[in-house]
Amino acid sequence: MSDGIAWMGAHHHTPTSEGPGMLGGLSLTLARGVETDEFLIDLGADLAAPAARTPYRELRAPAGRPGRTSPRLNRAMYGTCGAWTYVLEDWGMATWATGYRGKAESMLPREGEEILCLTANRFSPPALIIHAPDAYAYRADFGTDTGQGSALDAALGAAAAVFPSMPEASEAEVVAYFEEHGERLPELVFTAVGAYTGVAVDQGAVQAGDLPGVLIAPV
């Protein structure tokens, strides 16, 4: 088992893998208080897909009908660790992050559930932290916290994942800090989230595509 999930952040700027699994540019969605299969179906997986437990490396998009264009489907890898379900995607965003903002009913935060999403947000930087500890979601850019004084915010501070900002620091100080430490920011954020959740994901299994996967219709 690899050490936590910090490795995902360390490979944040690594190009998307063309191999059997994933490595670079990962978005991570964590959920607890909801069954794994139910959460995957909420994200847009086919009703029967989670039960198949198909290894990610064996996922194949369904053949389209003659004369018709097949719908685009995003591949996701998933698993569980403790009370958490985790979903990994490397297409540039996290499906949950796009879905809940688009008011997809199945993805709206619900009481009794907790969702924590790190979306690479490659199409509209910066990368984001979205935390829904109950029925409301709080957002923060990488380098900041949610401002809620939560245990997650404390973990981000302890991991040095909250960078100085104005007006507490001068513009020159902020720029200098980002130039010196910005490359490591994703790793620090993933380190903090790993400390908060206790989730660990085996890097070797992810790279090899050994974990189960599902195809998700984009929102």
Is 46 domain-assigned? yes
Residue 63 maps to a domain? no
Q: Does residue 87 sit within a domain?
A: yes
Q: Does 85 fall in a domain?
A: yes
Cα(166)–Cα(107) distance, integer angstroms: 34
Domain presence at residue 68: no
Question: Total domain count for the chain?
Answer: 1
pTM greater than 0.85 (yes/no): yes
Assess if residue 205 is contained within a domain. Answer: yes
Q: Is residue 69 part of a domain?
A: no
Q: In which domain, by residue range, is 179 found?
A: 6-58+74-214
**Helices 185-197 and 151-158, packing angle to 10 deg:** 130
DSSP one-letter string for 143-212: BS--SS--HHHHHHHHTT-B---TTTS-HHHHHHHHHHHGGGHHHHHHHHHHHHH-----HHHHHHT-SB
Q: pLDDT in tens for each of the 219 residues of the chain?
A: 456 999 999 999 999 878 899 999 999 999 999 999 999 999 999 998 999 999 999 998 775 555 454 567 999 999 999 999 999 999 999 999 999 988 789 999 999 999 999 999 999 999 999 999 999 999 999 999 999 999 999 999 999 999 988 678 888 888 888 888 889 999 999 999 999 999 999 999 999 999 999 999 887
